[in-house]
Amino acid sequence: MPRIEVLRLGHRLVRDDRVTTHVGLAARAFGADRIHLLNCDPDVKHRIDEVTSKWGGKFEAEVTEEWRGLIRTWKERGGLVIHLTMYGINLDDVITSIRNSKKDLLLLISAEKAPPEAFDLSDYNLAIGHQPHSEVAALAIFLDRYFEGVELKRGFQGSKVQIIPSARGKELEMSR
Amino acid sequence: MPRIEVLRLGHRLVRDDRVTTHVGLAARAFGADRIHLLNCDPDVKHRIDEVTSKWGGKFEAEVTEEWRGLIRTWKERGGLVIHLTMYGINLDDVITSIRNSKKDLLLLISAEKAPPEAFDLSDYNLAIGHQPHSEVAALAIFLDRYFEGVELKRGFQGSKVQIIPSARGKELEMSR
């Protein structure tokens, strides 16, 4: 299986904490393996780690202060770098060839303004629609298309609890 | 065309402002017609309205202090109320029958904890996967499945600018 990691750029302290947490949780829930949190409050990593500990799986959150080296190394090892931006080419035009490449993917997810270098350093600048919306939505839609919806039914190993789908109310089961 | 509106519940002042803004922008970008913002800073409405003014379309954002009456009226008029929650039944099991019903949809989107009544007042409690992630992601995935991806290519009338999809950098065109 190709490895999928997310690099969260442009996080502004405090202001973006909750959105960055949502980016991390969406990355995990929709099938990515790791998120790199650039210049981010360690509390955000802590909240993501708590979810992984309770709900299972091997998702990793890392706080980092450097991103250009990460991109360079990723490309040297043959992985693709994909920047999600409303200015890019349409997702549907290239998602099949990205999936078929079977290459590891590093997804660049920016808060409001992407650093100009992100456009140049990436193999693909990809748009999830050409309207302003949300990097959380963009990441979720990308992963949903990449995995063709299968990720929504996959299990997470080692969870302490799991949900029993219910038409009314909340049903939880403690894992054995 | 059925009408789709979003009711944002459980917003906590300041703390959720940015996530609620993302919910509103995702609602607009993925094809909903209106968002009702419960007990929300008018600045959030203002930011969503600014995007609509610049990027086009007829999306409406309204601040409200009452939600039970809205749900009651919606159901009296024959519309469906759909609560997005990780505890619900699987999206894929019912999205086709929801689409085929051709009924207007009111989507309930909660911040961290949904009010217990939301589970009872809704026609469907629907899960976008059974893992904790983000209401922004949940809303985007729901609308993407409902519209079968077509919403990502639709135009927004009356925009002041539009994007020319580009493999590198940002290209904008002023609308005529």
**pLDDT (tens digit per residue) in B100-132:** 999 999 999 998 788 899 999 999 999 999 999
- What was the pLDDT predicted at B113? 82
On chain B, the residues whose CB falls within 8 A of the CB of A128 are: 152
Stretch 108-127 of chain B: residues touching chain A, C-beta under 8 Å = 119-120, 124-125, 127
Across the interface, whether the CB atoms of A28 and B55 are under 8 A apart is answered no
Residue A83 is which amino acid? H
Confidence of residue B14 (pLDDT cuts 50, 70, 90): confident
Distance separating alpha carbons of residues A12 and A41, to the nearest angstrom: 9
- Predicted ipTM > 0.85: yes
pTM of the shown model: 0.97
- What was the pLDDT predicted at B38? 93
- What was the pLDDT predicted at A118? 93
- What was the pLDDT predicted at A176? 63
* A137 and B CB contact within 8 Å: yes
pLDDT of A123-176, one tens digit each? 999 999 999 999 999 999 999 999 999 999 889 999 999 999 999 989 999 876
pLDDT of A20-37, one tens digit each? 999 999 999 999 999 999
The pLDDT of B10-18, averaged and rounded, is 86
- What was the pLDDT predicted at B175? 77
pLDDT of A54-106, one tens digit each? 999 999 999 999 999 999 999 999 999 999 999 999 999 999 999 999 999 99
Q: Which of A22, A140, A153 sits opposite B19 (nearest CB)?
A: A22
Q: Which residue of A has its CA nearest to B27?
A: A133
Q: Which of A15, A55, A149 sits opposite B132 (nearest CB)?
A: A55
- Inform me whether the pLDDT recorded for B176 exceeds 80: no
Stretch 3-62 of chain B: residues touching chain A, C-beta under 8 Å = 15-16, 18-19, 22-23, 25-26, 28-30, 51, 55
Confidence of residue A11 (pLDDT cuts 50, 70, 90): confident
Burial B1-26 (b: 16+ CB within 10 A, else e): eeebbbbbbbbeeeebbbbbbbbbbb
The pLDDT of B7-36, averaged and rounded, is 94
Burial A104-129 (b: 16+ CB within 10 A, else e): bbbbbbbbeebeeebbebbbbbbbbb
Across the interface, whether the CB atoms of B29 and A144 are under 8 A apart is answered no
